[in-house]
Amino acid sequence: MGNLWIKKPLDKLVNEADESEKSLKRTLGPWALIALGIGAIIGAGLFVRTAAAIADRAGPSVTLAFIIAGIGCAFAGLCYAEFASMIPIAGSAYTYAYATMGEFVAWIIGWDLILEYAIGAACVAIAWSEYLNKLLELFGMHVPYQWCHSPFESGIDSVTKVMSQGVMNIPAVFILLLLTLVLIRGTKESALVNGPRSRTRRRPGRLARLRRHTGHPGRGRSGVLRLHRLRCGLDRGAGGQEPQARHADRHPGLARDLHRAVHPVLARAVGLAPVADFRAQGREASVAYAITTYMPGYGWLANMVTVAILAGFSSVILVMLLGQSRVFYSMSRDGLVPGVFSDVHPKFRTPWKSNMIFFVVTGAFAAFIPGNIVGEMTSIGTLFAFMVVCAGIWILRVKNPDQPRQFKTPLVPLVPILGILVCGAMIYGLGWTNWARLGGWLLIGLVLYFGYGMKHSKLGGGPRR
């Protein structure tokens, strides 16, 4: 049996980074990494959950709600930055927690990140299905209501005007399968979907500094992801911090001031239509609906936006699926989940079995669960991870104040406390049904940890592959 609070030494992390370099292909350049982050931040945050936030939560004050969410994300981002500067290794919050707070907390975060990544991908795939139908209508085609909605939904078909009952969301499953196959083919191909061609450039020296701090001999090439330069402006879009942290070893890419571009677009989209519309016919493909209905003569713009959103959603799904497979790759290497999640394709050097397993998981959610439930599960999972990261920085400053850091979160413990309070307040606003879902999800994770993970933990003395 392992020790719940055992921590992974930094020199072990460095060794594993070298091993990872020999197995997983490193192909992402700076612009590719930025493209991945922008895809997650703008695509998911702006076009997926905005209509639901207006209709079900904030109403006309949704812009203020997004600003408050952005403040919470800024506090969390500062805490992520300190972790990333201390541990410049791919792994996101899971790796940071394992090195600083112990195995049990690391497991909780890793399990929680399924809500952010896998369930998040399902959420965006459902929205992709809605906009696909808008595009098909331009050509006189459409997917019947029952084949693009979950069995728990019913409504009037937009073309036949007949009340229908959903069966499964086939377009959402299709896009998840297509992009899973792209991921299996390789990370570089994934980046090409988001932006310009990736050029791999290695900058030696930064990982070597970590080696000097830990006393670890040898050489290495990597980079520190400067997350303190990444500023997030949207609640769901804050998930862009995680994907970029997840791939920190691929290149020290930077993304600055994205909120300056995002907030004006959000404000204009929200101001076009009244709240009542987002509760009825404007709930699906809301941006295209608002333009078509309230901007006469600009139907061409709605069509262009629809095409652009479909492409943007594809990039978001790629980021989420990519991040999910990488988190479980790290957990599998640590023995906390079965070895199948770290099996690498002999040719493409990607965790292809993990990709296929998570396609089944995300496909099931996208096909059979309503988008509003999937979206709120994603939101609460992301906010919970942010709270744990903020708490981790506070704990780390008390227990390991002398640990070398290239960046320090300012005003500790004030910033972590404010991050916990703001994110906690947003979780409170999601209501008891979402609290119950999160509690049930974490309970399932605890059963799996004590039934498998703790017994097989390599750090805790479990069996080795």
Domain with 31 in it: what CATH number?
1.20.1740.10
Nearest to 76 by CA among 349, 339, 386, 327: 386
CA distance 291 to 136: 17
Indicate the Cα dihedral angle 351, 356, 361, 365, nearest 10°. Answer: 120
Token pair for residue 47?
């076009």
Cβ-Cβ contacts under 8 Å for 413 (sequence gap 6 or more) = 394, 397
Strand partners, 320: none
Give the residue with greater pLDDT, 241 vs 366: 366
Residue 14: which pLDDT band, with cuts at 50, 70 and 90? low
Cβ pair 40, 313 in contact under 8 A: no
Question: What percent of the chain has a predicted confidence (pLDDT) above 70?
Answer: 69
CA distance 26 to 21: 7
Task: Read off the pLDDT of each residue in 33-62 and give the average, rounded to a whole number.
Answer: 65
Residue 55: which domain range? Answer: 10-427
Question: Is 434 part of a structural domain of the chain?
Answer: no
Indicate the Cα dihedral angle 313, 318, 324, 327, nearest 10°. Answer: -130
Question: Is 4 part of a structural domain of the chain?
Answer: no
- Tokens 């019913």 locate to 154
Q: Which of 100-104, 169-173, 310-314, 398-402 has the highest mean pLDDT?
A: 169-173
Cβ-Cβ contacts under 8 Å for 119 (sequence gap 6 or more) = 362, 365, 374, 377, 378, 381
Cβ pair 456, 335 in contact under 8 A: yes
Question: Is 212 part of a structural domain of the chain?
Answer: yes
Token pair for residue 86?
């201390």
Token pair for residue 97?
């927690």
pLDDT, tens digit, 9 for 90 and up, residues 170-193: 999 999 999 999 989 875 545 555
CA distance 162 to 397: 61
CA distance 165 to 151: 7
pTM passes above 0.85 = no
Residue 271: which pLDDT band, with cuts at 50, 70 and 90? low
pLDDT of 395: 87
Cis status of the peptide bond prior to 413, with omega within 30 of 0: yes
Cβ pair 69, 238 in contact under 8 A: yes
pLDDT of 195: 52
Q: Which of 18-27, 130-139, 191-200, 263-272 has the highest mean pLDDT?
A: 130-139
Strand partners, 221: 204
Question: What percent of the chain has a predicted confidence (pLDDT) above 90?
Answer: 30
Cβ-Cβ contacts under 8 Å for 438 (sequence gap 6 or more) = 115, 377, 380, 381, 384, 427
Question: Is 441 part of a structural domain of the chain?
Answer: no
Cβ pair 66, 422 in contact under 8 A: no
Least confident of 134-138, 165-169, 254-258: 254-258
DSSP letter for 164, please. E
Nearest to 143 by CA among 17, 45, 284, 283: 284
Length of the chain equals 465
- Tokens 């592959």 locate to 465
CA distance 290 to 342: 45
pLDDT at 44 over 60: no
The amino acid occupying position 408 is: K
Indicate the Cα dihedral angle 92, 93, 98, 102, nearest 10°. Answer: 180
DSSP letter for 228, please. G
Residue 38: which pLDDT band, with cuts at 50, 70 and 90? low
| Number of structural domains the chain divides into | 1
Indicate the SS3 state at residue 323: helix
pLDDT of 390: 92
- Of the chain, the end-to-end C-alpha distance in Å amounts to 17
Give one DSSP letter per residue of 335-374, joined into a string.
Answer: TSS-GGGG---TTT-S-HHHHHHHHHHHHHHHHHS-HHHH
Average pLDDT, the chain: 76
Cβ pair 186, 198 in contact under 8 A: no
Residue 203: which pLDDT band, with cuts at 50, 70 and 90? very low
- Tokens 């896009």 locate to 175
Question: Is 399 part of a structural domain of the chain?
Answer: yes
Question: Is 369 part of a structural domain of the chain?
Answer: yes
Question: Is 268 part of a structural domain of the chain?
Answer: yes
pLDDT of 219: 34
Task: Read off the pLDDT of each residue in 403-430 and give the average, rounded to a whole number.
Answer: 91
How many C-alpha atoms does 286 have within 13 Å on its Cβ side? 26
SS3 helix, strand, coil % of the chain, rounded to 5? Answer: 70, 0, 30
pLDDT of 192: 53
pLDDT of 229: 28
Query: What DSSP element (H or E) covers 155?
Result: strand 154-156
CA distance 37 to 35: 5
pLDDT, tens digit, 9 for 90 and up, residues 276-318: 777 677 677 777 777 787 788 878 888 888 888 888 888 889 8
Max Cα-Cα span within the chain? 70
pLDDT at 224 over 50: no
